Structure 1
């Protein structure tokens, strides 16, 4: 790539990129930590560091002057590796004091660093979140996120036919959709923007002149159509008491403590007097440990590789079509939302 972009092999970018790979090699040679999540975060960010270094240098080479920033010096977090929480006060100070507003800045997405300056990552959709962090700290007029889709659709076209473009979504509705798993925008991206009422535009880099979707104050949803979300490869765990006694608050509290301990993200719960069901992400591969712990106090059944479907603004027709040819394991209806776990 470098040889294609830079005629002069003595250009400083060659040494900079070489040094980044050297840093990575040194880390592997010296690392003694058995913590997979820590090691993951120290390694995964090098793709962003290398690619932004190349882009920044190339733009400077063709006359588009810019300033390369190491985002790890600006976004400060705790040490919850792979899903770090932002230290907003420290991040605000770092961005305010180190980002020049009158120049083009190029930096990385989804990375940060903890108080020991170890690299952290911000979790799912962390690059979009990074844009929102900078917008919030710099009081930006707007944020534009470029995707390979026309904007926010009412369904993922990979799984649903006839997906429609949503022209306008309110912050609240976008957060609701994202909370249930809509893949275009994550709730944590929206929250800092909502606090300062900074509009978010989701547009297609394939057709940059098209309007895309506006997420801002205003109409909840336009057009007002059912919105479909699916999360796959989840685990449905069903618990019941060993002696048919009630599942009381104390039991539920213990269950949630174990889910937190083993880093199981809860997607939906359902409970009755003597049973408790929960659908979770097993991203950290701790399912077996969790089940062993639960079996000490509960009768445990579980089903892996289930799918969780959510329909916002559902109608009878949309539910019927979704359930066709599927085995429904769990179903919950709320005012504007239905959730269905299928196998």
Structure 2
């Protein structure tokens, strides 16, 4: 069994969906499971629906606009009387119905029930189109197979139950399913974290003991930097699991951080290729060659710089660290970089759920704090130490760290 994953950019409109069929024609579609993301910017649009719902604003018009976006894509793929239109209407009726009857004040729970519909609709459209294009497949609801706890928006996978579910599938068939979504023990939808479709593909690959997994992007593969940000970047033709995990941890957007671990456990080769030119080799992640040691650049935006000082100028000790990290866990804030001195702790923080103000307020009881928001974390992997000064030019550096072959700077 092979596993393919197609992201939102690869199914953003009717022509893009048709291109998916061309990729399959080039690569072959046999004994294959395909994971599909929401179309284009649908996830962002559905996030706005949830935000307006809790703000008690009119969200129905936004739902109608998202529905029309999908209907317009379907019109470029199917005749007028095709059953897929009824499916699209049903999905959006379900969103509206859920929001009308919902009594839960839990933002994250509501988020998962609503935003997950983007993947459901997208995968249904793609599955139907492929069946019409002689690429026979069975549409699966990923929530029936991937089981998690009830940590909404960041579900923790029940690997034993999930693998048992996936093993029940017939590996000789072709399947189309959704990225990003799973369900808890009560069958409520739980998402796996933003950009979690790569992780979904890895979960299915792990469950199937897949021969390989490929994610299809709008770039040639894993580059030494995001070509939209950095000049003169190169393709990394082959890198190790360990190097890929490091790059993902530091914020390389082409790889979801959780994706690599299940693949490495079963030594499943992982490819990153371009859906714009599927004949190109892309990047292989697994057994590496010297190419992995090229200098690479990662810019992680929307970070928060926080300096924490003890009020009595005592040393930052273990009890202080325990209190600070307990609050980080409470508010689900992730540390991207940290550095401490005798009486202060400097942190670069990623606040995906918008709790930084509450976190800092709780710290004020025992600490002095200085918070600077909207900073960036710039990481250079395999840095040339002799030329490191060039990275400081014209930068306002708040925090820096140089360890082994990696330079990191928090910059404003």
Q: What TM-score, normalized to structure 1?
A: 0.96
Q: Deviations over 1:233-265 (max 9, x none)?
A: 211110111111111001001100011111111
When residues 79 and 210 of structure 1 are mapped into structure 2, their CA distance, relative to the original with a 3 A threshold, is: same
What 5-or-longer segments of structure 1 have no aligned partner?
A: none
The 5 Å alignment of 1:189-200 reads: 189-200=259-270
Per the alignment, residue 252 of structure 1 pairs with 321
1:41 counterpart residue number: 112
What's the counterpart of residue 342 of structure 2?
Answer: 273
Secondary structure in 2 matching 1:203: strand
Query: Which piece of structure 1 moves more, 72-81 or 16-25?
Result: 16-25
In structure 2, distance between residues paired with 1:51 and 1:307: 33
Write the mapping of 1:34-183 to structure 2, written as runs, cut at 5 A: 34-97=105-168, 99-183=169-253
Compared CA separation, residues 64 and 225, structure 1 to 2 (3 A): closer
Query: Residues 1-37 of structure 1: CA distance to partner in whole angstroms, max 9, x if unpaired?
Result: 334433251x332322222222111101111111111
Counterpart for residue 2 of structure 1: 74
- In structure 2, stretches of 5+ residues that fail to align are 1-72
- Supply the RMSD in Å over aligned alpha carbons: 1.4
Query: By how many angstroms is 1:272 displaced?
Result: 1.1
Aligned residue runs from structure 1 range 281-300, under 5 A: 281-300=350-369
Whether 2:276 is the aligned partner of 1:206: answer yes
Q: Structure 1 pair 319/159, CA: closer, same or farther in 2 (3 Å)?
A: farther
**Which residue does 2:388 correspond to in 1?**
319
CA shift digits 1:157-188 (9 cap, x unpaired): 22211111101100111111111111111231
The higher-RCO structure (CA 8 Å, 6+ apart) is 2
How many pairs align? Answer: 340
Q: Which moved more, 1:225-234 or 1:317-326?
A: 317-326
Contact 1:135 1:193 in 2 (8 A): yes
Query: Please, which moves more after superposition, 32-41 or 142-151?
Result: 32-41
Moved over 6 A (4+): none
